[in-house]
Structure 1
Amino acid sequence: MGLQDLIVTPIYLLLLYALAFWIRPKVTNKDTRKYFIPGLTVKFVGAIALGLVYQFYYGGGDTMNYYNWGAKIVWEAFLDSPTKAISLITAGAEYPADAFQYASRIIFFGDLPSYSIVRVAGLLAIFTLNSYYAISVCFGAVSFAGTWALFFALYKYCSPIVHRTALAVLFIPSVFFWGSGILKDTITFSALGFFIFSLLEIVKWRRVTSLNFFILFISSYLLYHIKIYIALSLIPGAVLFVYIFYFSRAVKNTVLKILLTPILLVGVLYSMYFAALKLGEDNRKYSLDSMIETARVSAEWLYHVSRVEGGSGYSLGDDDFSPPGLVRKFVPGVWVSLFRPYIWEVRNPVMLLTAIESLLLLWLFGYTLVKTGFVSFFGFLIKDPLMSFFFLFTIVFCFAIGVSTFNFGSLARYRIPVIPLFAYSLFFVQFKRQDSRR
């Protein structure tokens, strides 16, 4: 933490709070207004806390690398020549000739998803006098924009549970910690919030405007460009949401719905498979075979590093990543992503917080399941188009990260897109149960 952090960061906090108070009347109502500033505040707390933990506890890591070997170099180029900094920010896959001496030092150059974070952080470095923590709170503000869009969309969908919606979307500690600093997860979580917001605006509320389609396009592009596995996990759920929504409105006969449901499910599965095939044609790295191999190599490497360094590794039983092996890992993969680490698996203080959160999430799931009943629980999820979307996204995404991470520290960060949606789904089912009893 340097002198510029102590001077510039408070100034940016004041400016961002002033902007927030100016915007608040335009994006809130009497039910949601009281959550706006607290929701923004926890994002700022998360952004600063993330930097402090990585700087003083871990002694480095991804967020520090994006700064030290990315944004800081852009700042140095700017001091040399503003045009060189612009060349770095707008560079493609090849080194810019006029800024080669700087681009060659950026360790993320050539890795386009990671370099996207360098572009944003480097641009912010110019306006914040290269203050890491000022850049971080700006990332936190970007994260809050998408988070608020998600919160407001889910509030509109079921306004009676506004308090529980705020808890699920705005105030889960791991989400505002891992999703607020200089990381890919900050941008992708914000993009996910805008994606769901625009999808609901277009499909549910029938606001078919150019702005909503623009938001949908940009958010989809960011998810695809920065973390493609999030985009792939969204495809089946989003398709199912659109299908069910229009299907339930068009077909009123119950018997006909039952007969047509298998056709609907086959269509969703085919859409998912077709999207994966087309993606593999465009980029061999993301073909089905390559993704399975990438998952295997990633899992084995992270588990090996965890064992060597005494870290927080886990295993799903075997190293068989063939189709039958992946089928066997399906339930354990989803389970570990949502409900582990257990308390007895804790190896460090940060992991303890994740374990407590996982335990509370397991309790909430068990409580909702017992109170609602197994059949009724899944009945509420399946009957509602948005809950079907969230449920399918949750199991697909959790399986994907569960079988490819094998490290609790990384898993705590990777899983933040699904935790708010899963918690909201449980609160929604509780409300539907109470409503049906009334």
Structure 2
Amino acid sequence: MAAFLFHVLAAFAQVWITQGIYGGGDMMVYFVTGATIADVVSYDPGRFFPELVALLVHQESIWPFYVMGAGGSTGTMSAVSGLLQLVLGESIYGVCVALSIAAFFGQLALYRVFREVFQTHLWRRHLVATMLVPSVVFWSSAILKETVAMAAFGWVVLGLHRFVQRRRAVGVALVLFAGFWVAMVKAYVLFALALAGAVWWYWRRANDASGGRGVDLRPGYVLIGVGAVVLMIVVLGELFPRYAVEKVGEETARLQHVGTSVQGGSYYEVAEQEERSLLGQLAFAPLALATSLFRPAFFEVRNVTMAVNAIETTTLTVLLLMAFARRSPKGLWNEIKRSPTLAFAIVFVVGFGVAVGLASTNLGTLSRYRIPMMPFFAALVLTWTARVPHGSHAHPRLPPARHVSL
């Protein structure tokens, strides 16, 4: 499959660019630290393998050398690198390719969701959206947190899909297992997923209750959905205090302040760094979302990677405008009403896009941080621009509805 080949090639490109152009970066820190970890574990596995496991899952670990970010996601990445080097040897290409393949299968799980839900005439478009978006392929093919997150992310979405289908045991197992690894490297992704997942569940139940005619307001389901969202956000906030509701504004302002210390040609600012309240940050939500979806533009390009990103964002922007020109708001809304998966995608893109747009201050890192939402954004755009074959229906395939009320 072309997508598999592109992931492998992207892994090699990541090494060449990181070493040859940037002269270093996060990936090299993880690789070098992982190499030292692998050497120490190989020398005394009985003593240090348990420390490696502890480092992997954010627990306290003791090493005869300094491990940057131990007890957090940075330490987890060094542990992942060390584990892979124990198996593959001290090869940066081997580690990158292994992680790239893991991300490929994560994206394949995401494609499976779209393939099961939508009509056959959309399958190729969704294959492109989930497997072949350039920025997603590139940034999920290195020793980076985003790669590990994408390797697990697709399985979380597949688990949510199974849960919505009422295959709850399989769904919960997938969400818990894959979600754990997302949490180890990119915990904030789960907050947007919690919100979007609740909407997905509500949309499906309401569709079933209406006999497949489209979502209608069902107060019982709304209350259950809102309660589930609140519960999940509270639990996630307890597990990851820096992302708790009462600290979100402060954490966002901190990340914005950190970004000012590395200003360059790709620097941008959406919100005021002094604004530390959640409501104050959310006042800039529309601008943050537009930044996440549509930048960089061609006039902002400073290097080759930004040029590729600009081609991607410009293409999606033009296609989105074409969709809005061809379809009436009522037509789009009717399609969304009948599709729980489209509703999920929209909520995730908006929620995650606002968060990333506010927290990022560099167009280069923005293209890297936003990759979990890009397959959904591309899928929305490519779905809305597709021509429906004669005799087919625009709405997705759904199993026979169960007539229920609440």
Residue of structure 2 in register with 1:339 after alignment? 294
In structure 2, the residue corresponding to 1:305 is in which secondary structure? Answer: coil
Structure whose residues are more often helix by fraction: 1
**Rounded Cα–Cα distance in structure 1 between residues aligned with 2:225 and 2:286:** 21
- After superposing the two structures, state which structure 1 stretch, 376-385 or 123-132, moved more: 376-385
Q: 1:269 to 1:168 in 2, by over 3 A?
A: same
Deviation at 1:397, TM superposition (A): 0.2
CA offset digits 1:269-303 (Å, max 9, x no partner): 45434433344345543322212101011012213
**Rounded Cα–Cα distance in structure 2 between residues aligned with 1:267 and 1:331:** 28
Residue of structure 2 in register with 1:152 after alignment? 112
The size of the alignment, in residue pairs, is 388
Cα contact 1:305–1:311 (8 A) shared by 2 = no
CA offset digits 1:244-290 (Å, max 9, x no partner): 212221244979x64x3566556544543443334434554332221
Equivalent residue for 1:235, pick from 184, 189, 194: 194
In structure 1, the residue corresponding to 2:270 is in which secondary structure? Answer: coil
Q: 1:253 to 1:147 in 2, by over 3 A?
A: closer
Q: Which runs of 5+ in 2 are unaligned?
A: 396-406
- After superposing the two structures, state which structure 1 stretch, 188-197 or 281-290, moved more: 281-290
Cα contact 1:77–1:84 (8 A) shared by 2 = no
> Greater relative contact order: 1 or 2 (C-alpha under 8 angstroms, separation 6 or more)?
2
Deviation at 1:323, TM superposition (A): 4.4
In structure 1, the residue corresponding to 2:262 is in which secondary structure? Answer: helix
| Residues 1:124 and 2:81 are matched in the alignment | no
**Rounded Cα–Cα distance in structure 1 between residues aligned with 2:48 and 2:90:** 13
Residue of structure 1 in register with 2:209 after alignment? 250
Amino acid at match of 1:430: T
| Residues 1:224 and 2:217 are matched in the alignment | no
Cα contact 1:313–1:408 (8 A) shared by 2 = yes
Q: 1:253 to 1:106 in 2, by over 3 A?
A: closer
Residue of structure 2 in register with 1:303 after alignment? 260
Residue of structure 2 in register with 1:356 after alignment? 311
Cα contact 2:236–2:244 (8 A) shared by 1 = yes
Deviation at 1:235, TM superposition (A): 0.7
Q: 1:436 to 1:88 in 2, by over 3 A?
A: same
Residue of structure 2 in register with 1:72 after alignment? 35
**1:371-390 matched pairs, under 5 angstroms:** 371-390=326-345
**Rounded Cα–Cα distance in structure 2 between residues aligned with 1:370 and 1:213:** 40
In structure 2, the residue corresponding to 1:188 is in which secondary structure? Answer: helix
Residue of structure 1 in register with 2:154 after alignment? 193
Deviation at 1:403, TM superposition (A): 0.5
Residue of structure 2 in register with 1:94 after alignment? 60
| Residues 1:54 and 2:18 are matched in the alignment | yes
In structure 1, the residue corresponding to 2:54 is in which secondary structure? Answer: coil
| Residues 1:180 and 2:180 are matched in the alignment | no
Equivalent residue for 2:269, pick from 302, 315, 322: 315
- After superposing the two structures, state which structure 1 stretch, 368-377 or 399-408, moved more: 368-377
Q: 1:131 to 1:317 in 2, by over 3 A?
A: closer
Residue of structure 2 in register with 1:215 after alignment? 174
| Residues 1:400 and 2:355 are matched in the alignment | yes
Equivalent residue for 1:391, pick from 346, 351, 364: 346
> Which TM-score applies when normalising by structure 2?
0.88
**Rounded Cα–Cα distance in structure 2 between residues aligned with 1:420 and 1:356:** 16
Cα contact 2:335–2:394 (8 A) shared by 1 = no
Identity over aligned residues, as a percent? 24
Cα contact 1:128–1:135 (8 A) shared by 2 = yes
Cα contact 2:107–2:131 (8 A) shared by 1 = yes
**Rounded Cα–Cα distance in structure 1 between residues aligned with 2:191 and 2:123:** 30
Amino acid at match of 2:268: Y
Deviation at 1:428, TM superposition (A): 2.3
Q: 1:203 to 1:281 in 2, by over 3 A?
A: closer
Q: 1:253 to 1:231 in 2, by over 3 A?
A: closer
| Residues 1:272 and 2:233 are matched in the alignment | no
Q: 1:58 to 1:266 in 2, by over 3 A?
A: farther
Q: Which runs of 5+ in 1 are unaligned?
A: 1-36
Computed over aligned residues only, the root mean square deviation of the Cα atoms, in angstroms, reads 2.5
Cα contact 1:168–1:420 (8 A) shared by 2 = yes
**Rounded Cα–Cα distance in structure 2 between residues aligned with 1:343 and 1:64:** 30
Residue of structure 1 in register with 2:6 after alignment? 42
Q: 1:143 to 1:240 in 2, by over 3 A?
A: same
> Which TM-score applies when normalising by structure 1?
0.81
